[in-house]
Copies of this chain bind each other. A is one copy, B any other.
């Protein structure tokens, strides 16, 4: 049956002429089998980094508008070259920048949100039988300026386009085979997941799985766009991220996520009075430092400890902000442990299976792994452990929930 398919290729897939030709082959094969095809591409290889480096030689503080003007050229190079490569194979193709494709975004430069998609032009080109190549990562803001969508922006373009076009599927081509039960570099027995629900994928991505940014999965969930994560190098099916995943009852945990680059910050002995948490976390939020887990110890003689985790890359910024806060609050001192990692298990099955968290804690204890902090959601249990214990903890969790054996396939 003829479908409307959105195919998205990342920067490494279009890094040089040979890879671009390879992408062109996949796209033309899809088109020749009768499907209507819209392709979304990122900037080639390191081009975005090169452009950022050029800007850094000019100024430490580029305006967001000009940065977007600069960075948007990367995807424009990709779409032109890919369109040429597809034309060369005898299939008509046409490239469109984000603005030409009717992608509208808000005015927040360098990390805009898509506000609307008007796909008239795309539908017009599809009707002419053409493959439409759209620049990922960019849109037009209300001032008619080019904006970029920030990290994972091309995935977002692809999923949002698939929603606007009511595409049958959005295929995300990557350098991995799909979504795995955990990182195969840590657990060689990790299994490729055939189907996973949006909410599980969201939790996995939020907990450190690198395959896709949460923003795109949110859009997929909101507009019910089936997302097929698959390899650019093989024809094998990858992982379908979708709304409903019928599963055998006994599948409780779908995957183990691992984030080795965490840091734990503790404010010791701060006064236990209302408003303290706001004073601590307000400035962090304003500066865009993402705080993950937060633990406040039981008060003892009117004093508290507050611990929280941040991405390790944010540690310095967080400390700078906290130094003044801590002295204002008369906290005794601020302690940083930047040698911690986060291990999380995710599965919708947890809802109907009590005791999953306890099972994880026991397995880790049996394996001699000490848990430092814990946070849970309805379908996730996350533990902070010593960085050195991280890979071991991942292996234990992966095995404890039977993920190292081929899944009984959901149909």
Q: Are A79 and B84 in contact (CB under 8 A)?
A: no
Within 8 A of B (CB), among A252-278: none
Q: Are A83 and B66 in contact (CB under 8 A)?
A: yes
Q: Are A85 and B69 in contact (CB under 8 A)?
A: no
Closest B residue, CB atoms, query A68: B80
Interface residues as binary, A68-85 with B (CB distance below 8 Å gives 1, 0 otherwise): 011011001101110111
Q: Among the listed stretches A51-59, A202-210, A238-246, A354-362, which one makes contact with chain B, having 4 or more residues with CB under 8 Å of it?
A: A51-59
Count of this chain's copies in the oligomeric assembly:
2
A277, chain B: closest CB distance, angstroms: 39
Q: Are A66 and B87 in contact (CB under 8 A)?
A: yes
Given contacts A51-B77, A100-B144, contact A69 B57 (CB under 8 A): no
Q: Are A81 and B95 in contact (CB under 8 A)?
A: no
Closest B residue, CB atoms, query A59: B88
Given contacts A17-B54, A76-B73, A76-B76, contact A85 B67 (CB under 8 A): no
Interface residue? A21 (CB, 8 A): yes
Interface residues as binary, A15-32 with B (CB distance below 8 Å gives 1, 0 otherwise): 011001100000000000
Give complex CA distance A57, B85 in Å: 10
A64, chain B: closest CB distance, angstroms: 11
Interface residue? A299 (CB, 8 A): no
A132, chain B: closest CB distance, angstroms: 13
Interface residue? A283 (CB, 8 A): no
Total residues of chain A contacting the partner, CB 8 A: 35
Residues of B within 8 A of A77 (CB): 51, 54, 70, 73
Residues of B within 8 A of A63 (CB): 83-84, 87
Interface residue? A184 (CB, 8 A): no
A350, chain B: closest CB distance, angstroms: 48
Interface residue? A65 (CB, 8 A): yes
Give complex CA distance A80, B56 in Å: 12
Interface residue? A367 (CB, 8 A): no
Given contacts A84-B63, A87-B63, contact A69 B58 (CB under 8 A): no
Partner of A69, one of B21, B62, B95: B95
Within 8 A of B (CB), among A70-122: 70, 72-73, 76-77, 79-81, 83-85, 87-88, 94-95, 97, 100
Give complex CA distance A144, B97 in Å: 11
Partner of A59, one of B55, B66, B67, B85: B85
Q: Are B73 and A58 in contact (CB under 8 A)?
A: no
Closest B residue, CB atoms, query A135: B69
Residues of B within 8 A of A61 (CB): 88
A168, chain B: closest CB distance, angstroms: 27
27 A–B contacts from the bound complex (CB under 8 Å):
A17-B57, A17-B58, A20-B58, A21-B58, A51-B77, A54-B77, A55-B80, A55-B81, A58-B81, A58-B84, A59-B84, A59-B85, A59-B88, A62-B87, A63-B83, A65-B94, A66-B84, A69-B76, A70-B76, A70-B77, A70-B80, A70-B81, A70-B84, A73-B73, A73-B76, A76-B76, A100-B144
- Pairs A-B, 5 closest by C-beta atoms: A70-B80, A17-B57, A73-B73, A69-B80, A59-B88
